[in-house]
Amino acid sequence: MADLQGRKVFKVFNQDFVVDERYTVTKELGQGAYGIVCAAVNNQTNEGVAIKKVTNVFSKKILAKRALREIKLLQHFRGHRNVSVRGRRRRRWRGADRACFEITCLYDMDIPRPDNFNETYLYEELMECDLAAIIRSGQPLTDAHFQSFIYQILCGLKYIHSANVLHRDLKPGNLLVNADCELKICDFGLARGFSVDPEENAGYMTEYVATRWYRAPEIMLSFQSYTKAIDVWSVGCILAELLGGRPFFKGRDYVDQLNQILHILGTPNEETLARIGSPRAQEYVRNLPFMPKKAFPSLFPNANPDALDLLDKMLTFDPSSRISVEQALEHPYLHIWHDASDEPDCPTTFNFDFEVIDDVGEMRKVILDTVLRFRQMVRTLPGTAGGVPGQGQPGGAGQVPLPQQGGQWTAEDPRPQEYMPHGNGLEQDLQAGLDASRR
């Protein structure tokens, strides 16, 4: 077909999947509300990639904004020339150097039919599965695995935060893993900017509610503003899930989510209670019987004491007292991995100015322009057109058997969702959190 020059069409989950002619689709990996993903091989280099087809981009304004946010952030974090990673985590990279190896790399983008498009294709690193699938499989993991995974998450998060970006949806399903225990953070569709100025933060809203089980209490309880601590809370939830083999705070709804957090962490002190911005939520917590904090060693009797100390510092109810990413990297639990020279910051902060765009037609133009510019860039830099990194060094924790089925949503997994008020007044307040209270 003339309009698909240089491309081929495959069937993936019974949908047309249009890919660059250099690639052959080899495996269906997963599908969800926002698109489908397959594995493909470069016929010239015999190296694999994951190709993600983002569908129905312009069916809703919030989906268009999410798609725009994702491609802009992946492009920004793709890497910067002249920034190298040294030491025991060194990787070989063909073409442009990359500054952070714990963030999934975007190789290419495509819009096969630019005249009237409702979908985009993202060519990314191929990872065998996600951390959620590994945890669900029940296969034995060692403390060395836990250390390696948490360290890599924190390294990626340090890089992300240094660009003044909050991920806001860290969870096992958004952490890609390969057999060498290398881990990559993915899915930036819910990310937002961060500033030390709370008023400036208020300008970056999203109509999506991040995944409930990993959502920091200050978001539900409408504390004054977001801080980087919300992502640290999510990492704490992930560490607890690794230690226990199941989600730690598995609330059926937002009220139950809050109850489960209070049941484990105990009743907050008066200073913290006074910072709860939702009057209904503050009244609810104050009227509950006093609850003492549970000791983590009693919940995880076989865990490394250093892991439990780090967990305690990550799952601190008051975000102002929660451990920072930089402090967590220096924690004794991660001392075998920690190397400050090997934990880079992003050289440039991310520009969220596009968030003010409110017209779907204008978003369409910006997405098309962004994709075309990126395609031109990767085809101009030597060795990067559809380039794939060399195989990385093993993660150091030993290989882990991967589940036969890739990580996909299960019926019980809570997904990010549009903010659609339902339930009683308290449930609405907790679901909406800070974002909705400022509209």
Which residue is associated with the tokens 């949806």? 169
CA-based torsion, 231, 224, 164, 330: positive or negative:
negative
Instruction: Report the alpha-carbon distance of residue 354 to residue 206 in Å, rounded.
Output: 13
Q: Which helix (H) or strand (E) holds 7?
A: strand 7-12
Residue 281 backbone phi and psi in degrees, to 5: -65, -40
The helix-helix angle for 279-287 and 425-437 (nearest 10°) equals 130
CA-based torsion, 221, 413, 173, 417: positive or negative:
negative
122: helix, strand or coil: strand
Instruction: Report the alpha-carbon distance of residue 189 to residue 209 in Å, rounded.
Output: 11
Encode 294-363 in three state secondary structure.
Answer: CCHHHHCCCCCHHHHHHHHHHCCCCHHHCCCHHHHHCCHHHCCCCCHHHCCCCCCCCCCHHHHCCCHHHH
- The DSSP code sequence of 380-431 is HSTT-TT--PPPPPP-SS---PPPSSPP---TTPPPPEE----SSHHHHHHH
- The answer on whether 11 is annotated among ligand-binding residues is no
98-137 in b/e burial notation, b at 16+ Cβ within 10 A? bbbbbbbbbbbbbbbeeeeeebbbbbbbbbbbbbbbbbbb
Nearest to 240 by CA among 213, 204, 218, 202: 213
Catalytic residue among 169, 180, 187, 429: 169
In the residue annotation, 169 being an active-site residue is answered as yes
Instruction: Report the alpha-carbon distance of residue 83 to residue 76 in Å, rounded.
Output: 14
Tell me the CA distances in angstroms from 167 to 162, 195, 234, 375, one per residue in order. 12, 14, 10, 25
- Any idea what DSSP says for residue 239? H
For the annotated catalytic residues, the residue numbers are: 169
Annotated binding residues for ATP, as ranges? 53
